[in-house]
Amino acid sequence: MRNLLALLLLAAAASGAEKVTDPLAGLDARELHNRGTQRLAEGDLAGAEEALRASLGRDVDSLRPPALHNLGHVRFGKGKAGLGGRTSGDATELSIARSYLEAADADISDMKDQIELLDKAKAEGREPDYVPATTALGGGINTYRTIKKLIPKEEAMVTKRAGVIALWTRSVGDFRGAHELDAADAQGKANADAIEELLRALRRETVALEEAIEAQRKKLEELRDVIRELVKRIPDDKLPPEAENGDEEEEEDFLPPERRKPKPQIGRAHV
């Protein structure tokens, strides 16, 4: 009985390990091309790419030009989907990045002015007015933390654009290949020319966004230094709440260790 059970288990395992039949395996080049063209018309870009590439793999010369032409549409469509249906990057991404750089410059200027005023009051033996200094410090810290959270999102946008650029570059190659094999495919050449123009614009936008991200990184360092200098000049009871670490663990605490308040212990068991 035990041996019979073991044999049944082995048979079940062997049955589960059987390979799934490739639905495209039995189709010839023409059928694969037609399947890919149909899927493209239906908006199934992944399925269209799979069938068209399989058709090219059958190495039938007469079908290579139309297969490449359709692959050009597939890869352009996939890239366009990566941009949310647009044919260019979102200009607001770069505008937001640049606006925070301008905000950081304004905050740095305000905080430096307050440092100068506090130092002057101290040198003259006067009680400083901490209200504008506290306001400037709070604004600088908020800008610092906003930029710090914004950078990973911008980097993800750059990565997404790089994927689109790769797809559109292949799309151009597909259309140009179709035209080289079939000189009558004037539309293929026109498509390649148009996509190359879109590629140039997208590359320019992406480079500008990368430069803005790098500028933001440097600006964070400058902000951090000025914030810490201003914190040194403001007593604990005058500091804005932003000066201490917020609720999120990744938020930076700008107070030196000796000025930080102990954090409450959560979930501590009673003995």
Six-digit token string for 102 = 């301008």
Q: How confident is the model at residue 263 (pLDDT cuts 50, 70, 90)?
A: low
Is 217:100 a contact under the CB 8 Å cutoff?
no
pLDDT at 13: 47
pLDDT at 56: 94
Which pTM was predicted? 0.79
pLDDT at 266: 54
Residue 10 pLDDT greater than 70, yes or no: no
pLDDT at 5: 44
Give Cα 66 distance to the centre of its chain.
34
Q: Express each pLDDT in 128-158 by its tens digit.
A: 999 999 999 999 999 999 999 999 999 999 9
High-pLDDT (> 90) share of the chain, %: 73
The H-or-E segment that residue 53 falls in is: helix 45-57
Quick one: average pLDDT of 33-37?
95
High-pLDDT (> 70) share of the chain, %: 85
Compute φ and ψ for 133, nearest 5 degrees. -65, -40
Quick one: average pLDDT of 225-236?
93
Supply the angle between the helices 45-57 and 64-82 in degrees, to the nearest 10: 150
**H and E: helices and strands count for the chain:** 7, 0
Q: How confident is the model at residue 271 (pLDDT cuts 50, 70, 90)?
A: very low
